[in-house]
Chain A
Amino acid sequence: MGDIESENQNIENKIKELARNLLREKEVDVIIGYKKGTVPLSSSPVFITREEDVDKLLWNNLCYVNLANYLAPRIPTLYDEEGQKLKVGIVAKGCVGRALIHLAVENQINLENIKMIGISCNGIINRKRIEKEIGEKEILETSILGNNIIVKGRDFEKTFPFDEYMNELCKVCKVKSPPNVVDSCVGECLENPVIEDDFNDISDFESKTSEEKWAYIKDTLSACTRCYACREVCPMCYCNLCFVDQNKPIWFGKTTDFTDIFAFHFNRAMHLAGRCVACGACSSVCPMGIDLNIITRKLEKIVKERYNFTSGMDKETLPPMMSFSMDDNQEFMLEED
């Protein structure tokens, strides 16, 4: 394997080949994958049902949506005319595979109806960071050349090293391919990736004082318009009625006062403890460019340290919020006198 550019080409070709076979052999009714976006720095989830459309499928480092989201029960697209659930093939980078496994653990999907086209993901571009750094110039074209991201506009061209301009979560990702999917997996796919993690990437944040942390959170979240793109793109946010939409009576304030914004994001974070698969889709899609990766990583670290659990790795281990053990670390409980 060579650089990112050739890796992408190789992955894309294999995805097409596997997808074509799955449709031809009628092993699946539909393939969920990515197609080219109509604007730079984007891609678009696509549903392919005919062999001749397979060439629309794409792999590059802008495939940021977690496709497992389309299998979560609240999205009703995947039924045929008789209302039968379709057999689905899905292009699965590591975090998509993890999300599918975790959804199965939570009894939301049946993995037997799902065929993963696994890929060893080489990382997703931090599109919001690039947009911010380019500023008030229009990006007209982006491409990967070797190991660099090339961004072009009417009167400029800029090069960004891919390693540095990946999503922060991708930089520390240990699960690049879907766990336990080796036979139909493209690239170097591990059956059980080792997930030792030092969480050094958030040590700067952790060393801040409470006041500094609060200032950071406030600065990060205050741009939120509460469009809920983060929630809607999240494969784990599948509730029929989100806590924040409860209105008989209203549970949470609906305004853009910071208190209400904060209440939404932190309650959502609580609900993702031991469930978030660190795909980073929430940050990739935020129209206001809010980066939630610090919250995600902190959450991951707490769950790892307290319960030695990483979400979406296997179907057997019950997540800490779905199980109780007498050994659970519960030093936060108040003791009786």
Chain B
Amino acid sequence: MEVMILMKDQVAKLYDELSGEYNFFAPVKEKGYVAYRKISNPKEIELNYFNSKIPPKEILFPQMEVLFEFKTDGKNVIEIEDRKDLDEKNILFGIRPCDAHSFDLLEKFFAFGDFQDEIFLKKRENSLIIGIGCNSPKSTCFCTSVEGHPFQKDDMDIFLVDLGDKYLVEGISDKGNNLIQQLSWLSKASKADTIKAKELAKKAEDLITTKLDLTNTSQILESNFGNEIWKEVSENCLGCGSCTFLCPTCTCFDVIDENDQYENRGRRIRIWDTCQFCLYTLHTSGHNPRDNNIERCRNRILHKFSYYPLNYDLIGCVGCGRCIQVCPVNNDLRTIINKINNIKPKEEENVSV
């Protein structure tokens, strides 16, 4: 497949051409941060950004999502109305490589074993990701430590490289290549363009200063459930949900039925939940296996760096650094990982609790 060029002032044209067929999601600036929103005017698109505050997982797995609606006769459910929008096609424009990779991790979770989450999986199938490489990763970024790269394109359908006033356009999947063919007005990239893209990739990689060694982390975690470091790691944690809500790979949710008794109707919704909250895993009996900060902090780390590797043979973190930036008490994930890596082998035998 040939590599093409999209001029930045042609992004509006791209939108105009595709917005009829697709819901067009793109980065927009709102209230001082960037978020991915379904846009109705290409002028809203923000092209100058590091990454979004809220990860784009919210496009396919929104914080609050109606699963179905129902009508009752006052007592019993008499009619269930399923979602009708799942066949709509989506363009996810401007996704960063770390977040593109997060979609694969989300998919692993929503298609685990016998449980196929139709709502998520259908939306995922109907979405086409146009990603953009990161020319200038942040100091908190560490994708290269979690099998990623600021120019990783495997998880996208179309990959763009920001060359200043234009984008280099590369089709990755069949879906992406077909779309590029449809956009006959794209010009061809010159050799100089592809060389520049390669240089930018190298430069971006060099800018990533955070290096975490995760070679043995999952193994260490397996045998240190009862280690003293969890007390240390959770010492100043407040138990809020900012790290998990703004994490592109966190998938926990709660399911709630909302009833409107006067109108004889209701809806079943799912909302984001987090292992940091007191209601998480609270049993009906009143017992909670994770009833304090120590257990909750440990769960977040184990989920990403032990359970994901065990269940899917993948690290459950994409290295975006959002949790590092937002933690109210600066409980830095990088420090936590280094502490885990420094557990002495002798202590590893201590498998109590």
Q: Mark B289-331, 1 if CB is under 8 A from A, else 0.
A: 0001100000000000000000000000000000011101111
**Interchain CB contact under 8 A, A257 and B64:** yes
**Interchain CB contact under 8 A, A256 and B63:** yes
Q: How far is the CB of A292 from chain B (nearest CB, A)?
A: 14
Of the candidates B244, B256, B324, the one whose C-beta lies within 8 Å of that of A38 is: B324
Q: Complex: how many Å from CA A140 to CA B239?
A: 27
Among the 9-residue stretches B2-10, B29-37, B145-153, the one with 4 or more Cβ atoms under 8 Å from chain A is B29-37
Among the 9-residue stretches B45-53, B74-82, B109-117, B160-168, the one with 4 or more Cβ atoms under 8 Å from chain A is B45-53
**Interchain CB contact under 8 A, A46 and B240:** no
**Interchain CB contact under 8 A, B241 and A227:** yes
Interface centre among B138, B235, B236, B278 (most CB of A within 10 A): B236
Specify the chain A residue showing the minimal Cβ separation from B239. Answer: A232
B245 at the interface (CB under 8 A from A): yes
Q: Complex: how many Å from CA A65 to CA B329?
A: 7
Evaluate whether A39 and B279 lie within 8 angstroms (CB atoms) in the complex, with A136-B48, A227-B245, A254-B254 already known.
no
Q: Complex: how many Å from CA A135 to CA B48?
A: 10
Chain B contact residues, majority secondary structure: loop
B334 at the interface (CB under 8 A from A): yes
Q: Mark B220-258, 1 if CB is under 8 A from A, else 0.
A: 000000000000000110111110111000000010101
Evaluate whether A285 and B50 lie within 8 angstroms (CB atoms) in the complex, with A135-B32, A136-B34 already known.
no
Of the candidates A44, A70, A233, the one whose C-beta lies within 8 Å of that of B331 is: A44
Q: How far is the CB of A332 from chain B (nearest CB, A)?
A: 29
**Interchain CB contact under 8 A, A44 and B330:** yes
**Interchain CB contact under 8 A, A39 and B325:** yes
Q: Complex: how many Å from CA A250 to CA B244?
A: 23
- In the assembled complex, which residues on chain B have CB atoms less than 8 Å from the CB atom of A250? 256
Specify the chain B residue showing the minimal Cβ separation from A229. Answer: B240
Evaluate whether A287 and B329 lie within 8 angstroms (CB atoms) in the complex, with A138-B50, A138-B138 already known.
no
Specify the chain B residue showing the minimal Cβ separation from A136. Answer: B49
- Interface size classification for chain A: 35 or more
Interface centre among B258, B325, B330 (most CB of A within 10 A): B330
Q: How far is the CB of B284 from chain A (nearest CB, A)?
A: 9
B139 at the interface (CB under 8 A from A): yes
Evaluate whether A254 and B271 lie within 8 angstroms (CB atoms) in the complex, with A69-B238, A136-B50 already known.
yes
Q: Complex: how many Å from CA A76 to CA B238?
A: 11
B69 at the interface (CB under 8 A from A): no
**Interchain CB contact under 8 A, B332 and A38:** yes
A47 at the interface (CB under 8 A from B): yes
- In the assembled complex, which residues on chain B have CB atoms less than 8 Å from the CB atom of A70? 236
Q: Complex: how many Å from CA A45 to CA B293?
A: 15
**Interchain CB contact under 8 A, A254 and B240:** no
Of the candidates B140, B240, B258, the one whose C-beta lies within 8 Å of that of A227 is: B240
B59 at the interface (CB under 8 A from A): no
**Interchain CB contact under 8 A, A232 and B240:** yes
**Interchain CB contact under 8 A, B328 and A65:** yes
Can you name 10 A-B residue pairings with CB atoms under 8 Å?
A: A39-B139, A39-B140, A69-B238, A140-B139, A154-B136, A227-B242, A229-B238, A253-B258, A256-B63, A285-B240
